Amino acid sequence: MDDLGSTNADAVDFLGFSIYAGSPGRALLELRDRVAEGRTTHVVTLNSEMALVARRHPEFAEVVRKAEMRVADGIGIVLGIRFLTGRKVHRITGISLADDLMAAAAREGFSVFFLGARSGVIERAVEHIRARFPHLRIVGWHHGYFHGQEEEVVAEIQASEAQVLLVGTGSPGQEFFIARTRERLPCKLLMGIGGAFEVWAGRRHRAAPWIQRMGLEWLYRAFVDPSRWRRLSFIPRFAWLVLREKFSRQGTV
C-alpha cells in the first residue's frame, strides 16, 4: 500500500495511525490525480468513536492502517493530535470531502457508484446529487441493506466499471466492506461516508457553518436526535485514551 502523506510534512502519527496533515484542497488534488493515474486509494475518515473501536478490535485497526489515506474527520482527532504533538491538522469531514470529490469527478469525467442508506432514501439522495452536479457520471447505486446479497452488489459494481465508490453503510461496516472487496472492484477511489446519503436526501440536516467551525456538530446532532445521547459516552473514554497516551510518552504510566 502506498500510503498518502507518508512524509513528515504530510502526516502526523496519532494513536498508531498516520493521519493526513495536508489541506483539504491538497487532499482533493492528490486524490484526483490518483484516480486519473489508476492508483487505488481507500480513504478512511477517522473520528474519535472509530479510533476507540480500532483500539478494542485489532482487525478494524488493521483495516484503518492499511488504507492509503486517513483524514481527521472528527474534532476530537484534531484536538487530540494538537494535544499530543503540538501540530495543527485540518478537519476534513467525509461529507465535505465527498462533495468536493463529486465536483471534481464531474469536471474530470470520473464515474461514480453510490452504496448505502435505505431503499427510497438512496434514490432521493441521487436525485439531489444529480441536481447539484448535472455533469456527474453516476453509473449506479444500491441501498445499504444487502445482508446475504453481497456478491450480487459486488457484481453490480463490477458491471458499472465505476472509478469512484462512496459507501454510506456506517462504520465500521463500510470500512470492512471496502477492505474485503476492493481487490475485486474496478474502483480506484473508495471512501466511507457514514450518513451522508441521509443528508443529501433531506432526511437529516447539517449544523450551521459556525457550529461546524467550532467543532460542535456532534452536539448539534445529539440535540436534533436524542437517541444519539447514549453514544456520547465515547467522549470521556476517548479523552482518557489520549491522556494515557500523553502520560505514556512522558513515562508517567
Is the pLDDT at 219 greater than 60? The verdict is no
**What pLDDT score does 139 carry?**
98
| 214 or 10, higher pLDDT | 10
| Alpha-carbon gap, residue 178 to 180, rounded angstroms | 6
Contacts of 132 (CB under 8 A, 6+ apart): 102
| 2 or 164, higher pLDDT | 164
**What pLDDT score does 250 carry?**
74
Q: Work out the mean pLDDT of the chain and round it to a whole number.
A: 90
79 band by pLDDT with thresholds 50, 70 and 90: very high
Average pLDDT over residues 182-186: 98
> Strand pairing partners for 12?
19
**Predicted structure pTM score:** 0.89
Which range has the worst mean pLDDT, 33-42, 134-143, 196-205? 196-205
Residue bearing cell 441536481:
131
pLDDT tens per residue, range 101-149: 999 999 999 999 999 999 999 999 999 999 999 999 999 999 999 999 9
> Strand pairing partners for 142?
115
Is the pLDDT at 8 greater than 60? The verdict is no
For the beta carbon of residue 51, count every other beta carbon within 10 angstroms: 23
Is the pLDDT at 212 greater than 70? The verdict is no
By DSSP bridging, strand 41-46 and strand 69-72 are: parallel
Is the pLDDT at 206 greater than 70? The verdict is no
Average pLDDT over residues 79-92: 95
- First-to-last C-alpha distance (Å) of the chain: 34
Average pLDDT over residues 71-100: 95
Residue 199 near residue 179, CB atoms below 8 Å: no
Residue bearing cell 473501536:
53
Is the pLDDT at 228 greater than 80? The verdict is no
7 band by pLDDT with thresholds 50, 70 and 90: very low
Q: Which residue from 144, 116, 146 is spatially nearest to 129, judged by alpha carbons?
A: 116
Average pLDDT over residues 69-83: 95
Domain boundaries, the chain: 11-250
Asked if CATH classification 3.10.450.50 holds for the domain at 11-250, the reply, yes or no, is: no
| 3 or 170, higher pLDDT | 170
| Alpha-carbon gap, residue 103 to 124, rounded angstroms | 19
Is the pLDDT at 204 greater than 90? The verdict is no
Mark 90-117 as b/e (b = at least 16 C-beta within 10 Å). Answer: ebbbbbbbbbbbbebbbeeebbbbbbbb
